[in-house]
Chains A and B, each alone.
Chain A
Amino acid sequence: MNESKATSKMHVELATFFVGEALCGMDILNIQEINKLMDMTKVPQAPSYVIGILNLRGQIVTIIDLGRKLGLGSTEATASSRNIIVNSPGEHVGLLVTQLSDVVTAQMDKIERSPANMGGIQGEFFSGVYKTEDKLIGILDINKVLRIEEQGH
């Protein structure tokens, strides 16, 4: 037990996925499940990044288009798109992503701060970047993604 705790401090398992063209990742422990349910109910007047609500085994889950939320353009529902259901205080929220990728084990000390030029909308949602041999993963700060903006939309 202690050992695993120690290692988890050293490493973090990142679930990675594509939002549009961008490769993003988040701590796998934040994820409750991933599904491809697309039978959503539209909610008129909802913030533009909310694409609808979904019945997940009797629970009502708000689905957020991660692409639109990050300012990367809206995500199309295709055969490869998935909902990543994450725990949020008091409820579950789904994040619609373009495509799933691998689970990457990242070393904590290799995670770097977001580059300074990654400002604007995107910058505030990323807590850092992680560089593997062939790709760069933007690590999402899930709390910031799920935070409600007072101004809405």
Chain B
Amino acid sequence: MQIEDDEILQGFIEESLEHLADIETDLLAIEKAGANIDENLVNKVFRAAHSIKGGAGFMGLTVIQELSHAMENILGMIRSKKLVPNPEIVNVLLQGSDKLEYMINNIQTSNEEDITEHLIPLNAIAEANSAQVVLPPPPQPAPEPVAPAPVTTPDEPSLMVQDTPTPVQQEAPAPVVPQPEPVTLSPPPPTPLIPVTSSPMETSSAPSMKADTSLRVHVSLLDSLMTLAGELVLSRNQLLQTISTNDLRNAEAVGQRIDLITSELQEAIMLTRMQPIGNVFSKFPRVVRDLSKQLNKTIDLTIVGNEVELDKTIIESINDPLTHLIRNSVDHGVEMPAERKRLGKSEKGLIILKAYHEAGQVVIQISDDGKGLDGEALAASAINKGLISAEQAQIMSDKERINLIFLPGFSMAKKVTDVSGRGVGMDVVKTNLDKLGGQVEIASEVGKGTTISIKLPLTLAIIPCQIITTSNERYAIPQVNLEELLRIPANQVKNRIEKVGNAEVVRLRGNLLPLIRLSDVIEAERSYWDPAEDEQKADRRDSIADRRGKHSPLFKKAEDSAADEHNLDSDNRVSSDRRYSSTSALNIVVVSTNSMKYGLIVDRLQDSEEIVIKPLGRHLQQCKGYAGATIMGDGRIALILDVTNLARMAHLTSIDGTDRANEVALAAEELIRTQKDRQALLIFRSSEHEQFAVPLNQVERIEKIKRSEIEVMGGKRVMQYRGGSLALFTVDDISKVQPIVDHDNLLVIVFNLCSKPIGLLAIGPIDAVEISSEIDGLTLKQPGIMGSIIIDGKTTMLIDIFEIVQTLFPDWFAEKPVFEAVKITGITPTILIAEDSNFFRNQVKGYMTESGYNVLEGADGAIAWDLLQKHADEISMVVTDIEMPNMNGFELTEIIRKNPIYNKIPIIALTTLAAEEDIAKGKAVGIDEYHIKLDKEKLMTCVHDYIKRLH
């Protein structure tokens, strides 16, 4: 068709779309109100349909006119209270408005659209209604008054005739409407299924295209922009004047003024890009309504934080991921009403969509009270899909399992998602959010519901970056990619940087981190920064670990030799102290991209700054290493590095989903293996050649003293300590080790036992280490020494501080209620110990038997569980390790707690490094107390307490 006047047409389109945007929410409100009609609201919708009809008629858009006319008819009936809006009617109206929107967005082809599928139900409603209200006595003439208005499809009269008589037979007016409805509506249902599912995509993509061209800005904001612009002009005039009169004093003031105005102006302009998130949220009531209806669920959607503002670009791109997540919640999260009733939940599901500010970011939260995500089911389907192996799944935490749904490929097979419940294209959601610099987190509890939190930056235009220097140029690395900054001092470079083939790697907390030289990747000249002379110098070493000066004949390259000879003298001077000068320290920026982590070697690290991204010109598009450029404070430009592409350019093999999962699992496994018997120890010496260690957590503090401070009183060594006397002892008091050396400077390691402080005399060097090697409880065992362990290639004896104190000060323990419980009941209580390490098991067993308890021991959770079942009557307490093969402490606790016979048994968990997270998890599964391994005193007090309580 032809449209004569573009401008008028454009006006019509914009106006109509505005009307339609409101219609949707208004219709939903009308539906909610039901018979309780809000006239203003209905009027508003009526007027909207009416003006679209009018406009369309004027423009010659007959199809739009026809559809809006049919809708207006129904709305008119609702307005005059001839018709009670029910979900079916509103549904038809909503679909009509969708169609209108679609046609208006494709205005040129609108007249060719087929709208019969909308007209039939619309007219059917109108006819049924007019028949029933206006014409109770004569049934036949019913179609006549209606017929002139909608000149529609005569090929469907049978349907219409069929429903006109029905109202007559049934006299009651109210229930009449729903009854004929199913008849008239039966043809459309297959179609709504398609529009309902696809409409969110359509409506989302269409307006987002439009939003690019025009934007609504509040007039007050525009006014303030004008004011600022005016001020800027004034300041410019002042500046020009100052320059012409050469008035330096004034120049400073003017400069400040311009500075102020500029930043205010920048802020105000940024504000114009900010849009309330309500623009996106507003369409979700419809999505939830339609989808829940289609699935026969009843779901309430609560929206909080409509007013939270985000950058326009983010608002536009957040739409699809959010729609996806909401649909997931409706579809897979909330259960069917019957199921909910059975579970004792209210039949109506609840989805809460919330936006709020937190720590300079915007958080969008979608929570439902549905069935939650079952980590195990997810893991099982991931195994089925071959994404992870069974072993990997076993060692994953629940959180990791839930996060499996983000793995690409997880959602590909329908069968899998049916089992797991969720995960339809969640990887796509994640990728989309990653692009925006956002993060997704899932928290879920089976049976209680799921909460998905999305964290988004306020704006994309300004990003925080780390500034670095290489080859005399500054570069910016987005903070999103930044993991940590690493500086390897000159004297450690040789030990920590290793070469695997051609690749250089650094050992970072036990893992190998591939290293890339930024200057090599971007093919800039290698250089280093010399702090002494405060300048950048060329660097010609081949290997990082090589600290020889460049004059070395081995590393002299042909093209360098001339220059080298020339500089030989000065080089000799420098190279002598280079080995330990800070010049050789390496600055490494550890960055991460989607799938990998690597270290980027740079010359210097500088500040982190908020920068404004600017695109690079066409001629530089082929340089893949840069994400753009930015203008620094001094007016020069710095390039922004694209960390992902740099890795590609350096031919770092990217790790795909499966490999990455593998790697994560391996790392986790490694962690568990090492953590199994991980001990934090304090190393010290008493004589030059024997090294001792005590568990660090038993140590209160360490004091440096002079030998002269030690007093010998009544055959015992004491010193003054915090206003009292501190009893002192040495290891050789009890154990057959070499006596303490006769140093003037000594150390006192203070312990607290039986709520009394006691000091162990020692000498340095002292150090705190975390070790995971096996403790040998036999070879060097003797009084006061519980075993030995190899630390850094040195055999170290582990001190048994309790035994020493008990031997030295037996009366300290005299008042301990060792046998009280036994005395009361006459039975010796039995304690079940589950611990996989022989050493620790023997230690704990020792504590227990010493106090008079019977002990049963299991080398892992499964064995312990068997023992518990066999000796159910005897066992009055379980003491368990957490990390064990076959069945870990958490699992053991869980099955004990599930069984009604044992669920009253106190469970004490022993751990080497108690992390808050673990403690919380332990409490959740039903562990009563947490204790640190080898803290005998606290453990036994606790054991006594529980035993006493039992009897």
Contact = CB atoms under 8 A, between A and B. Distances in A.
B616 A64 contact: no
Interface stretch (B548-556, B629-637, B824-832): B629-637
Nearest to B615: A60
A55 B619 contact: no
A88 B471 contact: no
Interface string B282-296: 000000000000000
Contacts of A139: none
Interface in A21-63: 39, 41-47, 50, 53-55, 58-62
Interface string B503-547: 000000000000000000011100000000000000000000000
B614 A60 contact: yes
B635 A61 contact: no
B620 A46 contact: yes
A57 to B, nearest CB: 10
B638 A93 contact: no
Contacts of A109: none
B930 interface: no
B619 A42 contact: no
A54 B635 CA distance: 9
B382 interface: no
Nearest to A94: B617
B619 A64 contact: yes
Contacts of A55: 631, 635-637
A45 B637 contact: no
Interface in A85-106: 88, 90-91, 93
A41 B620 contact: no
Contact of A45 (B522, B614, B631): B522
Contacts of A42: 473, 524
B524 A44 contact: yes
Contact of B635 (A39, A43, A64): A39
A47 B635 contact: no
A39 B631 CA distance: 12
A43 B618 contact: no
Contacts of A61: 617
A148 B616 CA distance: 14
A35 to B, nearest CB: 13
A41 B626 CA distance: 13
A95 to B, nearest CB: 12
A60 B618 CA distance: 11
B103 to A, nearest CB: 34
Contact of B616 (A47, A53, A152): A53
A93 B617 contact: yes
Interface residues of A, number: 24
Contacts of A60: 614-617, 629, 631, 637
A54 B618 contact: no
Nearest to B518: A44
Interface in B586-621: 614-621
Nearest to A58: B631
A90 B617 CA distance: 9
Interface string B624-647: 011001010001111100000000
Contacts of B623: 43-46
Contacts of A43: 616, 620, 623, 626, 639
Contacts of A41: 473, 629, 636-639
B622 A47 contact: yes
A101 to B, nearest CB: 26
Contacts of A39: 635-636
B516 to A, nearest CB: 14
Contacts of B621: 148
A91 B626 CA distance: 18
B470 to A, nearest CB: 9
B618 A90 contact: yes
Question: Interface centre among A47, A55, A93, A152, by most B CB within 10 Å?
Answer: A55
A50 B626 CA distance: 15
Nearest to A92: B617
B626 to A, nearest CB: 7
Given A44-B522, A46-B620, A54 B637 contact: yes
Given A46-B619, A60-B631, A53 B637 contact: yes
Contacts of B625: 44-45
Interface string B229-262: 0000000000000000000000000000000000
Contacts of B635: 39, 55
Question: Interface centre among A45, A47, A50, A148, by most B CB within 10 Å?
Answer: A45
B467 to A, nearest CB: 13
A88 B631 CA distance: 21
Nearest to A89: B618
Contact of B618 (A45, A53, A91): A91
B472 to A, nearest CB: 8
B631 A53 contact: no
A98 B176 CA distance: 90
A62 B622 contact: no
A47 B524 CA distance: 13
Contacts of A46: 619-620, 623
B709 to A, nearest CB: 64
Nearest to B618: A148
Contacts of B524: 42, 44
Contacts of A58: 631
Contacts of A91: 617-618
A88 B618 contact: yes
B523 A45 contact: yes
Contacts of A148: 618-619, 621
A62 B628 CA distance: 12
Given A43-B626, A53-B629, A60-B629, A93 B637 contact: no
B523 to A, nearest CB: 6
A47 B623 CA distance: 8
Contacts of B614: 59-60
B915 to A, nearest CB: 45
A93 to B, nearest CB: 6
Contacts of A64: 619
Contacts of A44: 471, 473, 522-524, 623, 625
A90 B618 CA distance: 9
Interface string B401-424: 000000000000000000000000
Nearest to A59: B614
A60 B628 CA distance: 10
A44 B522 CA distance: 6
A59 B625 CA distance: 20
Interface in B455-513: 471, 473
B242 to A, nearest CB: 20
A50 B616 CA distance: 12
A61 B616 CA distance: 8
Given A42-B473, A44-B523, A45-B625, A62 B619 contact: yes
Given A41-B473, A62-B617, A62-B618, 11 more contacts: A39-B635, A41-B637, A44-B522, A46-B623, A47-B622, A53-B629, A53-B637, A60-B616, A62-B620, A91-B618, A148-B619
28 contacts: A39-B636, A41-B473, A41-B636, A41-B637, A43-B626, A44-B522, A44-B524, A45-B523, A45-B623, A46-B619, A46-B623, A47-B619, A50-B619, A53-B616, A53-B617, A53-B629, A53-B637, A54-B637, A55-B631, A55-B636, A55-B637, A60-B614, A61-B617, A62-B616, A62-B617, A148-B618, A148-B619, A152-B622
Interface of B: 471, 473, 522-524, 614-623, 625-626, 629, 631, 635-639
Interface of A: 39, 41-47, 50, 53-55, 58-62, 64, 88, 90-91, 93, 148, 152
Q: Which 4 A-B pairs have the closest CB atoms?
A: A62-B617, A44-B522, A44-B524, A41-B637
